[in-house]
Amino acid sequence: MIVAAFSAGFSEQIAVSCPDSFRNGSAGGVWQAFWEVSAIPRGSKREEGLRIFLKSEAVRLGLAASIDQVGNLLVKMPATAGRETDPVTVCHAHLDMVCDRTPESTHDFECNAIVPVASGEWVTANGTTLGADNGIGVAALLDLMRGSSKDHGRLELLFTVDEEGDFTGVYGLTPASFEGRRLINLDSETDGELNIGCAGGRADKTVIPWRRKPAGGSEVQAIRVMIGSLQGGHSGVDINRGRANAIHLAGRLLRTVASVVPVRLIAIRGGSIDTTIPRDVSLDVAIPTKHLPFLAEMLPTLQKRLRREFAQADPGIELRVIPIMGRQSDALSVDDTRRFTDFLLDVPCGVQQMSKQFPEMVETSMNPGVLTTATDSVVLISHLQSSKLSAINALGEKLAQLAGRLGADVEIGVPYPPWQTSPDAPLVKKVCDIYGAIGGSPMRLNVVHAGLECGAIGERIPGMEMVSFGPTIENAHTPRERLNIGSVERFHTLLARLLAAKF
């Protein structure tokens, strides 16, 4: 298959073919489509190449395709013979992916293809996010376009943009965007689990004034302390796994060092996206030169302590020191460094409340996700998430109170709403019945602690009956993301049988 991939400043013809072992299975068309989708760069707000490719495929296949004012693509498929009067079903996936890589990777997400790698029961990428979230959903819809389902009513295939960003795609939808009022979202990540609800959330931006003063002369040394090699993970589905947050660890490190050494913070940066648990942080600090040997002894001890504390969830935590050569930078005062450290430690981090309705599920959490230093400020972007809007607002108020101690401003992010449907809804019951026949085990109902576009769709288009399911994806939003091969087979079968069912 030759894929024509187009994006800003990039146009390339790419020959794409997945391994025969994948193409020859029952979900071979999905796997071939996934390899093709992976070849096209598609970061949030940069989905044009994939959108053009999918629309071109639809036109080639004789299907009606249109792009709305915000960039969403809708492809309409006619019913197979005898199904013309069935209700219209909307099948939905998002085009964009989280773009993250290991420090060693040279991958350029603007122009390089992601090449999936099969290893045992899993498919991964080489040093980057795989993009199975939500590339496998897009691939399933591309496979449908190409005729993999021989028995279905009228279908509307909806491809939205910017799900991993600001939800600008789904917020551009209106009741007139499509005809169907039954929607199958393909953006879930656990085989055998049917999501009938999701958390809402928002990303709040805290801008903290950064009042610098000269760091000192030859008696002061600037050094860079690196906190790295953390597991990270999705700020929703992985938040209850007990993994360390590198930004929170930075606060702990600063407090530990400052308890015995006068430390002044020059700059701090870490994290990549607010919906990812940050895996690394770097701190540039100024300390008296005479205390350098003591710091060199302290950090290995602190590293051992953290590795013991996170032995199960995050065993590979690393602390490293790199001298900063040249002119000493200006820095915060010792007192301002202490106040900023207190702020980092007081900001809510991780699980805040478990669900009473689903005791094993997280109800409310907060992820301090991205921290950057500018000339006169430090910016922290935090992801607030809950199945209750009141809990999100309460977290936001607490963040604002903490920020106020530093004279900081908080810009409240655009919220996306929670969603929940009835366990007794006909669509829910049908999915569960079909999966039970396929897998031999009951499908679990779940309200996922992550943001799905179903919430915004339900808010903007009243009367939508929705469910969400997908194959197993682990460590989404990180370079350790992996897609389970066997679960894709069941995912493909479930979707095909659900579309063939009459109800």
CA–CA distance from 345 to each of 92, 181, 201, 230 (Å)?
40, 46, 22, 18
Domain ranges within the chain, ordered by starting residue? 2-199+418-500, 202-411
Answer yes or no: are the C-beta atoms of 266 and 210 closer than 8 Å.
Answer: no
Q: Determine which of 46-60, 323-337, 414-428 has the lowest per-residue pLDDT on average.
A: 323-337
pLDDT tens per residue across span 201-228? 999 999 999 998 887 777 888 999 999 9
- The secondary structure element, H or E, covering residue 56 is helix 48-60
pLDDT at 2 over 60: no
Q: Write down the pLDDT at residue 326.
A: 66
Answer yes or no: are the C-beta atoms of 449 and 361 closer than 8 Å.
Answer: yes
Mean of pLDDT values over 185-197: 97
For the four alpha carbons of 129, 130, 135 and 136, in that order, the dihedral sign comes to negative
In DSSP notation, 383-423 reads EEEESSHHHHHHHHHHHHHHHHTTT-EEEPPPPB--EE--T
Nearest to 204 by CA among 372, 370, 338, 453: 370
pLDDT at 11 over 80: no
Mean of pLDDT values over 120-132: 97
Higher pLDDT, 130 or 25: 130
pLDDT at 265 over 80: yes
Strands 117-119, 122-124: pairing is antiparallel
CATH numeric code, 2-199+418-500: 3.40.630.10
Q: What is the mean pLDDT of the chain?
A: 93
Nearest to 374 by CA among 208, 227, 203: 208
3-state secondary structure of 170: helix
Mean of pLDDT values over 107-132: 96
Is 142 exposed, middle or buried, given 0-12, 13-18 or 19+ CB atoms closer than 10 A? buried
pLDDT at 77 over 80: yes
pTM of the predicted structure, to 2 decimals: 0.89
Higher pLDDT, 212 or 142: 142
CA–CA distance from 400 to each of 204, 208, 404, 406, 419 (Å)?
10, 11, 6, 10, 26
Q: How far does CA 163 lie from the centroid of its chain?
A: 9
Mean of pLDDT values over 423-432: 96
Tokens, residue 475: 């460590």
pLDDT tier, 14 (very low <50, low <70, confident <90, very high otherwise): low
- The domains spanning 2-199+418-500 and 202-411 adopt the same CATH topology: no
Helix, strand, coil share of the chain (percent; to 5): 30, 30, 40
Answer yes or no: are the C-beta atoms of 92 and 180 closer than 8 Å.
Answer: no
Active site residues: 96, 163
Question: Does the structural domain 202-411 have CATH classification 3.40.50.1580?
Answer: no
Mean of pLDDT values over 143-150: 96
For the chain, percent of residues with pLDDT exceeding 90: 86
Higher pLDDT, 358 or 336: 336
Report how far residue 300's alpha carbon sits from residue 319's, in angstroms, rounded to the nearest whole number: 7
DSSP tag of 112: P
Beta strand residue intervals within 289-408, DSSP E? 318-323, 350-354, 362-373, 377-386
CA–CA distance from 18 to each of 34, 36, 113, 142 (Å)?
8, 8, 13, 15
pLDDT tier, 15 (very low <50, low <70, confident <90, very high otherwise): low
In DSSP notation, 228-271 reads E-----BTTTTGGG----HHHHHHHHHHHHHTTS--EEEEEEE-
Report how far residue 40's alpha carbon sits from residue 222's, in angstroms, rounded to the nearest whole number: 42
